[in-house]
Amino acid sequence: MTRRLALALAFLVVIGVAVFASVQIMSAVERPSTTTSTHSIKVGSLTRQYEVIAASSLPESAPILVVLSGAAATTSDEITRDRLMPYATAGKVELVYPMAIEESWNAIGCCDGAAKLNIDDVGFMKALVPAIDPGRARPIYIVGYSVGGRLAYRLACTDPTLVDGMVAVKADPMPGCVVTQPMNVMVFSSMDDKYVPYKPGEKGLETPAATVQIARLQTDLKCAAKTVARHGTMTLSTWSCADGKTLEWALYQSGGHDFPAPDGDTPGANQLIWSFVAKTALAPVPR
C-alpha cells in the first residue's frame, strides 16, 4: 500500500512539473524577440551613430525613448543602469541610444570632451528624431541622466516641439536655458545629491537647487493643480500644466547622484518613467 501511494505521488509530481514546464515554454514562445541594430546619420562633417532596441512585434503606437547617457558611460553601461530593457522586451517601447563623443555631451557650454570639441549634439538630436520616426507618427521622449539630462534640458529650451516630452534624471539646465512652451516634463532628484543640491544653501557642484528648478518649471510650464503620492521613500509630485501637459517631480530621500534603482517598496526610475510616458498608473516592471 505504501509503495502504491509513493508511486501515485511521484506520478502527480511528474505531471505537475510537466504542466509548469509547458506554461513556461508557452510564455517564452509568446514573448516577442528583441533585436538591437546600429545606425549611422550624417550631422555636419561627422557621422554619428545610434543603437535601436525593439521587439519584433512592436505596436505601431509604441512610444520611443531616446536615452542620453551620463558622463564616462558606454551604451552598455547605460542600458544596465537605466533598467528600461524589460519594457523593450515586453514590446511596450522602443529604446534608442545615441552614441556620445568621448562619452560626453555638448549641452552648449558643458560638458567635457564634447563641449571642448564643440560637437553639435543639438543638431544630432534634431536629425535623429525624424530618422527614427519619419512623419512623427509615434510619441517620442528624451530621457537624460546627469550630463545627458543637461542636453535634454537644452533641447527642451531650444526646440520644445521636437519631442513629446523630456525626463531629466539628476540634472540641471545650463544658465539661461528656459522652457518657453508647455511640454511634458519629469524630473528626478535626491535630497543627498552632491552635484545637484536639494535646496538653496546646501552643498552641490551645480545650480540651481532642485527646489528652485522645480519652481521655475512650474512657472515656465504654467502649472496649477498639484497632487502628491508617496511610494516607499520617494515622493511623487504631479502638476497639471498649460495645454494639457504634465510636470512630475520624483524626489528620493537618498541615492546621491545615482540613477534611482528599485529598493523594496520604493520604485526605481524605470517604473516611474514608463508610467509617465504611457500615462498609466505605477505598475510592476514586466518580466
Q: Distance between CA atoms of 128 and 140, rounded to whole angstroms?
A: 11
Confidence of residue 57 (pLDDT cuts 50, 70, 90): confident
Question: Which cell goes with 224?
Answer: 496649477
Tell me the pLDDT band of 166, cut-offs 50, 70 and 90: very high
Q: CATH classification of 36-278 is 3.40.190.290, yes or no?
A: no
pLDDT tens for residues 210-260? 999 999 999 999 999 899 999 999 999 999 999 999 999 999 999 999 999
The reported pLDDT for the residue numbered 33 is 84
**Residue 5 pLDDT exceeds 80:** no
**Residue type (1 letter), 107:** A
Burial 110-144 (b: 16+ CB within 10 A, else e): bbbbbbeeebbbbebbeebbeebbeeeebbbbbbb
Does position 173 have pLDDT exceeding 50, yes or no?
A: yes
| Helix boundaries (H) for the chain | 2-30, 75-82, 85-89, 112-116, 121-132, 147-158, 210-220, 269-278
Domain chopping of the chain, boundaries: 1-30, 36-278
* Residue 32, pLDDT score: 59
DSSP class of 104: B
pLDDT above 70 (res 77):
yes
**Model confidence at 175: pLDDT above 90:** yes
Q: Is 242 helix (H, G, I), strand (E, B) or coil?
A: helix
Grade residue 31 by pLDDT with cuts at 50, 70 and 90.
low
* pLDDT tops 90 at residue 80: yes
* Residue 144, pLDDT above cutoff 90: yes
Question: Residue 95 above 80 pLDDT?
Answer: yes
The residue among 267, 275, 257, 272 whose CA lies nearest residue 148 is 257
